[in-house]
Structure 1
């Protein structure tokens, strides 16, 4: 399967979202529940036309951005080196958005389920794939852990992404376990995600400084 075919799947998810909006519209109320708290209790609504259009339009805009990135990145050749993983990320993100859209519509049609747990489960699988992607990402300006230190050193980039990939997978697993804890499930996703972000940024800085000190020591010894 090539890039064009993978993007065709992503386009299919966008079109599917739009079609579902059109088909479901007559059966939906004038205002749709579109937000839930950590306990899964609805706490905000949106007008039907806006709610039904928002997700397909968002997915289409993101798809356009994802299609442009490999062409505009100054290190576009590096994206090509992990292009299949990048393309599948696009497919998974558009699929995730479509899934959220279907969930919102189903809830507003009267199907009873815990929407927060539904979304957290989907996010966990998204995180796991991000962990896979990070393990293959080469240095670029748009995809990955982009700190001043990873962008300045290929060694720092590679080591930081190896660590980040493992941490994102672990975060996904912890998030899935958290689904067993009801209203606290959100924290099983949020806290590990924040810790993962802090560790990867801090590690990239620490590793860069260590490499710089080693280089300075080698220069001084000469």
Structure 2
């Protein structure tokens, strides 16, 4: 209930943020940057309202998802982690909204990577802190074809994932020092972690 109240407040903030700054935003806004941090897509500033609308959509969908399954007893233990995850997603969307608003009002040489990658780093570290606390369920955690079948494999995979996500968080932050290669480092590191965890889960399951 506390998280739901917080989420509603955050959604209201996302709308108020855009309404307050709307008169100062140019009619045409940059909405996408290429890997060189150069704007390559412009649209009407009305498109910025898709972000607060997306916060509402995310809130509704993610709150309803656990109720679609009959295995709610599995969800109970992880409910507060799931609620925190929903709140974090909404906060991230508001952060992106703020970055887009400010970048278009105070348009200057702008590195989207410098703003987005630290946010990804925080999210990854938070994930690393919580992965090893989550019991096997249908919604959150590292769900491979093998971890979802066995509690031991689930625990081992998520413990390993917790460590790797923290490492990935640090790599993501350090990538900011490699101008022009930030997204290559981030995406390749993320793919590597995903592959390692899939292989770890597979071999752990077949070692039983």
Q: TM-score range with shorter-chain normalisation?
A: over 0.9
Could you state the TM-score of these two structures normalised by the residue count of structure 1? Answer: 0.87
Cα distance in 2 for partners of 1:92, 1:122 equals 10
In the alignment, the residues of structure 2 paired with residue 185 and residue 31 of structure 1 have an alpha-carbon distance, to the nearest angstrom, of 27
Task: Provide closer, same or farther for how the CA distance between residues 86 and 45 of structure 1 changes in structure 2, counting only shifts above 3 A.
Answer: same
**Structure having the higher Rg:** 1
Query: Residue 204 of structure 1: which of 189, 193, 201 is its match?
Result: 201
Larger helix share, 1 or 2? 1
Q: Secondary structure at the match of 2:30?
A: strand
* Alignment match, 2:124: 127
Deviations 1:54-95 (A, max 9, x none): 111111111112212332234322322133322222211110
Inter-partner Cα distance in structure 2 for 1:130 and 1:44: 31
2:92 to 96, 99, 118: 96
1:78 alignment partner in structure 2 = 74
**In 2: Cα distance, 1:180 partner to 1:74 partner:** 47
Note the residue ranges of structure 2 that are not aligned, 5 or more in a row.
Answer: none
The alignment's C-alpha RMSD in Å is: 1.5
Q: Kindly tell me the number of residue pairs found equivalent between the two proteins.
A: 207
TM-score, with structure 2 as normaliser: 0.93
What residue is the counterpart of 1:21 in the other structure?
18
How far apart are 1:111 and its partner, in Å? 4.9
Deviation string, structure 1 residues 125-154 (Cα, Å, up to 9, x no partner)? 111111122111111111111222111111
SS at match of 1:152: coil
Cα deviations across residues 32-54 of structure 1 (Å, max 9, x unaligned)?
1011122322111222112x211
The structural deviation recorded for 1:11 is: 2.0
